[in-house]
Amino acid sequence: MPALAPAATRRPRARWLVPAALILLSFVPVLQGSLRLAELAGGADVTPENARFFASPVPVVAHIVSVTVYSVLGAFQFVPSLRGRRGWHRVAGRILIPAGLAAALSGLWMSAFYALPPGDGEVLLVLRLFFGSAMVAGLVLGMLAIRRRDFRKHGAWMTRAYAIGLGAGTQVVVLLPWMLLIGPTGELARAVLMGMAWMLNLAVAEYIIRRRDLRRRQVKAGAVSGVPTAA
């Protein structure tokens, strides 16, 4: 029995690795957003790259604030000990769903009405509109599922929506090696790489969802047979 003690002590710490990794993944986009807010508040020089934000600052400010709240708070929903606390999960959800909707809808507004920034193109615009709409759909379906007390579907849709919302962090990870090894991306390469980042996040989300479903089935099977299952 003493030989099992180190694993037992490491296990609670390991549960915090996922939220820590998610927060780390959000770090660059959150930092960029903070710098953008400082730029808008400080009256920086208007350039072709930031002119659209100075012309209409409300959507970008709403987007930065809501994405920051959604990314950071959402990461803690992946801690099983917190997710299992009904009070915490309910309060966090009441913050996360409005924040996620604000992030997605403000992102859609900027994609539709802001001038295309340098380096973007029509293909990336279509991808932004598609994944932004998918994020809204995921949040709405997750909200409807919890009203039906369908906890499995609620968790699945919220996980998918969070994966899309975290796309900006994965896009940094995907784009950086290209820029370091090859150089600046063209419009098509940028669109393809950013689309790959969203798809990668969704693939991970589906893996997590299937793993949760498998664990539920194992717990049910153990309850029926009377044989305890591994946590």
144-149, Cβ contacts within 8 angstroms, sequence gap of 24 or more = 146/93
Asked whether residue 220 is domain-assigned, the answer is no
Total structural domains in the chain? 1
pTM (2 decimals)? 0.86
- Which amino acid is residue 80, in one-letter code? P
**67 found inside a domain:** yes
Enter the DSSP assignment of 91: H
Task: Tell me if 218 is assigned to some domain.
Answer: no
Q: Does a structural domain hold residue 102?
A: yes
Whether residue 201 contacts residue 163, with contact meaning beta carbons closer than 8 Å, is answered with yes
- Residue 226 counted as domain residue: no
In the numeric block, the tokens 């790259």 are attached to: 49
Is 23 part of any domain?
A: yes
Question: What residues contact 72, with CB distance under 8 A and at least 6 apart?
Answer: 23, 26, 30
Residue 227 resides in a domain: no
Q: Which residue has the tokens 């090696």?
A: 177
Position 222 in a domain:
no
What pLDDT score does 161 carry? 98
> How confident is the model at residue 9, as a pLDDT?
45
| Three-class SS state of 159 | helix
Range of the domain at 58: 2-212
pLDDT digits (tens), the chain, 231 positions: 344 444 444 466 667 788 889 999 999 889 999 999 999 988 788 887 888 998 999 999 999 999 999 999 999 888 877 766 778 888 999 999 999 999 999 999 999 999 988 889 999 999 999 999 999 999 999 999 999 999 999 999 999 999 999 999 999 999 999 999 999 999 999 999 999 999 999 999 999 999 988 877 777 666 666 555 544
Side-chain half-sphere of 14: how many Cα atoms within 13 Å?
6
Residue 37 corresponds to which tokens in the numbers above?
């807010």
How far is the C-alpha of 42 from the C-alpha of 163, rounded, in Å?
33
